Amino acid sequence: MAERRVNIGWAEGLHARPASIFVRAAMAAGVPVTIAKADGGPVNAASMLAVLSLGAKGGEEVVLASAAEGADAALDRLAKGLDELPETV
């Protein structure tokens, strides 16, 4: 299982527009990915409702994970996108 821990670099956290950008990137990743807050269970990273339900705020740590082959590159891209401005995802 490939995993990346990253602090959300967007001040507004994962709500509305940033979550939409992240979900589109997760759908385009080509592998199934989950996202979880450090103290919670994983949810489907390609589901807008699931990502919004996390209530992840700026600066909080989240865990991206995937058991699929080739997941490392996808997780690296998604982790970088969470750490930078939404336009970079």
* Token pair belonging to 24: 């589109």
Sign of CA dihedral 52, 38, 76, 68: negative
CA-atom Rg of the chain in angstroms:
11
**From the candidates 15, 57, 77, 80, which is the catalytic residue?**
15
| Residue 19 a catalytic site member | no
| Confidence band of 12 (pLDDT split at 50, 70, 90) | confident
Report the predicted TM-score, pTM, of the whole model to 2 decimal places: 0.91
pLDDT digits (tens, 9 = 90+) for 73-84: 999 999 998 887
Give the percent of the chain with pLDDT over 90: 79
pLDDT at 88: 47
* Token pair belonging to 85: 């401005």
